[in-house]
Amino acid sequence: MKNLRQNPLALSGLLIIITVLFVAIFASWLSPYDPNYIDIQSILLPPSHSHFMGTDGLGRDVFSRMLYGSRISLLVGFVAVGIATLIGTFLGAIAGFYRGYIDSIIMRFVDIMLSIPTFFLILAVIAFLTPSIWNIMIVIGFTSWMGVTRLVRAEFLSLRNREFILAAEAMGASDFRLIYKHLLPNSLTPIIVSSVLGIASAVLTESGLSFLGLGVQAPQSSWGNILTDGKEYIQFAWWLSLFPGLAILITVLGYNLLGEGLRDLLDPKNKNLKK
């Protein structure tokens, strides 16, 4: 925490995340209106006292929809990246530690997954299932673990022949202990940096999917689909695109800054240096 305080960027990232979390948790308290309440008498009103962020094409309050939408982006980010990091770290660790055939099989599987375009997989899954928020998170998670696998494996490979690992091995440490106590902590940096970037890109992926009509579906609101609704009127009903656009920008920025700060904080090499 002390280290974090020395890094103003990371601190502001953390503050952004906490704010978004707060907003997401208390969305139902903070919203002045029901996010799905349609009022066709007040279509496309600009921001005012009664509607902080104006109203959309069905007269719904954009502010309330943004608040509820923050839940979606948080969920999408955390769950999708959680899935991806778990799968990625597990496979990468095994591949990098055991090498040989296990490594070959895992890495060829990674190659196969990498060579099938992500949105093709997403589209196929969404063709089977409704494009609901859960399916979108699972799909993003299951299609974005390959980068983590490669990073962890590469890190393991280059650490594997280092003296401190060989020494631990010679002292009879079990495989699990070697991985868990020695290799993994020394590979944490890329895992953390990539999962934080991963959360950020999951939020972006959701907005991209919304653009293609494959994101969270109406009437449920997500920042991505509010932004997509607003893109037709970018020069007229600017509030429809400005607020969700900024919200995505700031949140993604927050994750990134925090991740950067954590990298500095958790990097064992940095710690050694400070001792």
Partner 1 sequence: MLNYLIKRLLWMIPMLIGISLISFFIMHLAPGDITASESSFNPKASEESRQKLRALYNLDKPLMTQYSLWLKRIVKLDFGNSFASHQRPVLWETKDAKGNITRGMIQDALPVTLMINLIGLLIIFALSIFLGVVSAVNQNRWPDRLITIIVFVGFAIPGFWLALLLMYWTGVSHSWLPISGLHSAGFEKMSHIAQYADLLKHLILPVSISSLGGLASISLYVRNGMLDILQQDFITTARAKGLPENKVIYGHALRNTLLPLITIIGLSIPGLIGGSVIGESIFAISGMGKLFFDAVLMRDFPVVMGILTIGSVLTLFGNLIADIGYAWADPRIRRGISN
Partner 2 sequence: MHIRYLFILVFLLFGLVACSDKKESVNNYEGTFTSEKGGTLIDAMSGEPSNLISMIAGDSASSAISGNIFNKLIKYDKNLELAPELASQWIISNDQKTITFYLKKNLKWADGHDLTSDDVLFTWKLVTDEKTRTPYGSDYKLVDKAEALDPYTFRVNYKKAYAPALDSWASLQILPKHILKDEDINHTFFSRKPTGSSYYKLTQWINGEKLSLEASPSSVMGEPNINQLTSRFIPDTSSQFLELIADNIDLMNINPIQFARVIPSRPDLKNKLALYKELGNSYTYLGFNLKHSPFNDIRVRQAINYALDKQEVIDGVLLGLGEPIASPYKPGTRWSDQNLHPYSYDKNQALKLLHEAGFNDSNHDGILEKDGKPFSFEILTNQNKQREMTAVLIQRRLKDVGIDVKIRVIEWASFVNQFIKTGDFDAVILGWSLSLDPDQYNIWHSSQQKPGQFNFIGYNNKDVDQLLEAGRTELNPDKREKIYHAFSKILLNDSPVVYLYAGYGLTAMNKRIKGIDSPAPPAGISYNSYEWFIPSTLRRNEITP
What are the residues binding partner 1 (CB under 8 A)?
A: 7-9, 99, 104, 108, 111-112, 114-117, 119-121, 123-124, 127-128, 150, 154, 157-158, 161, 189, 193, 197, 200, 204, 207-208, 211-212, 224, 227, 231, 234-235, 241, 245, 248-253, 256-257, 260, 263, 269, 273
- Alpha-carbon torsion angle 74, 242, 136, 139, nearest 10: -90
Stretch that binds partner 2, among 14-22, 105-113, 128-136, 176-184 (CB under 8 A): 128-136
Q: Which of 13, 2, 19, 3 is nearest to 193 (CA)?
A: 13
- CB closer to partner 2 out of 32 and 46: 46
Residue at token pair 């969920």: 75
Nearest 5 degrees, angle CA 83-CA 79-CA 196? 85
Q: How far apart are CA 61 and CA 56, in angstroms?
A: 7
CA-CA distance, 164 to 159, in Å (whole number)?
9
Instruction: Decide if residue 46 touches partner 2 (CB under 8 A).
Output: no
Out of partner 2, partner 1, none, which partner does residue 43 contact, by CB within 5 to 8 A per kind?
Answer: partner 2
* Residue with the two structure tokens 């591949």: 95
Report the residue from 214, 227, 247, 248 that binds partner 2 according to the rule CB under 8 A. 214
224 touches 212 (CB < 8 A): no
Size of the site for partner 2 (CB under 8 A): 27
Q: How far is CA 9 from CA 42, 191, 259, 264, in A?
A: 41, 20, 10, 12
Rounded CA-CA distance 166/14 in Å is 38
44 binds partner 2 (CB under 8 A): yes
Structure tokens at 259: 């991740």
What number of other Cβ atoms are within 10 A of residue 189's Cβ? 19
Which of partner 2, partner 1, none does residue 140 bind to, with CB < 5 to 8 Å depending on kind?
none
Residue placing its CB nearer to partner 1 in the complex, 31 or 150: 150
Q: Which is nearer to partner 1, 16 or 31 (CB)?
A: 16
Binding partner of residue 122 among partner 1, partner 2, none, CB under 5 to 8 Å per kind? none
Residues that bind partner 2 (CB under 8 A): 36, 38, 40, 43-44, 57-59, 123, 126-128, 130-131, 213-214, 217-219, 229, 231-237
